[in-house]
Structure 1
Amino acid sequence: MWGIETGGLATFALPVFAFVLVPLADMVAGRSPRLPNRDGVQLADWIMRAYVPLALLALAVGVNAADRWNTLEWFGNGLSLGVTAGVGIVVAHELGHRRAAGLRMLSRLMLGTTAYGHFRVEHNRGHHVWVATPYDPATARRNQTYYAFWWQAVSGTLRGAWAQEAARLMKRQLPGWHWRNEVWQNVAITLLLALAARLLGGWSGLGLFALQAVIGFSLLEAVDYIEHYGLMRHRFADGRFERMTAAHSWSANHTVSNWLLFELQRHADHHVRPLVPFSALGDQAESPMLPASYPTMILLALCPPLWYRVMHPRLDRHYEHLATERGMQAV
């Protein structure tokens, strides 16, 4: 909110912090031990609960001020609120895995600010089942650019969520278009928030709401791109896929960014133990490790030739290691 009120170059403070200062801090602080870390779970929970109203407040302040900004401030504040929304989806992702109805509602409210409420449905019931297979829209194939993946993930997540909800309602003998379909409910939440933005900030406020939403879910899909790039489960002759293991998710254990992202970067452990709070996640020995933390990897993903140069040798070594292990097990 400091950048919103100050204006000028201060509007870029949050993107600079996220994509410049945090990677530098990771370089200085180094990596965390490859061990489970169960400290601070309760503190992290309270931080995540507090994040939702604080993010909504920042968005409301921005929407209210949007018609007073010049072009530079629009760009800077749009990026900053988009980064805020992107981190908000991290929080929503975690809360969406919880059993408490109140925490799930906070998750849906946070996702509503990015017009991506259907993510929780597809992620929990689709992605965690089909990860690292061609049926998962959130798994990037080798040689697939982030830009091609973006459309695959955005459209596929919506289709998958609708299919999941239609199947659930069918079991209750209700049509897929019924109001109990959670996709419709999430659309309603987003429309109410958009209406609030229009009333509070006029057309400028509504435009800002849309801009930060697109940036927010685009950052989410950049993270999805990074987390499973090129990692596919073997398919047997009978059509079955091998069991999902930690070998099918990239992880990172960079200290500062992991702390700021609630240990999200220990992603392989999340897939192995999806109900464990993020702040209690550790490292799985089978998981390949990213060369840098998510902020740096996101910037690399935006430049496909550079991304391929960095990731493909690591991907090849990972598969060679898996082939060696399988060969030893066969013996």
Structure 2
Amino acid sequence: MVSSKHEAMHRLFRSHPEVFGRAFETLGLPFPDPREVALLPNDLTEIDPIERRVDTLLRLETDEGPFLLLVEAQARNDRRKPGSWAYYLSHVHAKYQLPPVLLVVCQDAATAKWAEGPLSIGPRQWTSLVVRPLVLGPHNVPAVADPCIAACDIPLATLSAITHANDADIGAILKALATALQSVDEDDALIFAELTELGLGNTPAAQTWRQLMTVDLSFFRSETSQRLRAEGRDEGRAEGLAEAILRSLAARRIEVLPADQNRIESCSDPDLLRSWLDRSFTATTAADLFGVED
């Protein structure tokens, strides 16, 4: 049976597949942004009576061609998983004739380190197969504890909350996400609130999140929230993105020259500001944000 944590991963990556590429930008992996995503059947059972189901199977269309994304949520080391994962990858490759990528999402560093592999199949004298999952976990997903940064990328902030569920500073991460949700429409906020609770599972962080939502959900229905959301959409979007960029650079102790700060704060193009925000997580200097194409 699919657990609530698995369901959260399924819905997050199906509804917001772009979070996949943004999460791996911090590792320097150049996955192209998806233009279209399709949910494929996750039942990989053949005539063999053993039931085999991957948590989520997506087909992602990109400018560089399509590929398959298999998403698994993994809570602990499991010696049976390498065989299952190898089966999943080879089966979908043979069935769809597309390159597959296995993404494993973990909530603790030890499980993430194990899942990264490489996981070998075969006798010690000769390896027949090697499974190399891409892994997202607390070791490589940014801990988004700043409400401004969370508001600029709520899907990534949600993934951050889920993967950092067992961190000591999870309270600050959840508070940042709860604050950020006040800047979006009520329907969207409720969806992300539910996804977060599902993804946190039975961790103590889930109770913290429920307490935050008990207080904060009333905000979404107030007249103040309606006014603030309208003001944010009309006037504050660019300012919020600029502030998030500067805070991200400050947190990474990167010096920002007055000319660079003025360029960031005076920019009114939200798409350009978002690209600068993405680069702020890996930049070594403020000038790295802008790039030759800007």
TM-score (norm 2): 0.29
Say which structure is richer in helix: 1
Say which structure is richer in strand: 2
TM-score (norm 1): 0.27
Which gives a bigger RCO, structure 1 or 2 (Cα 8 Å, sep 6+)?
A: 1
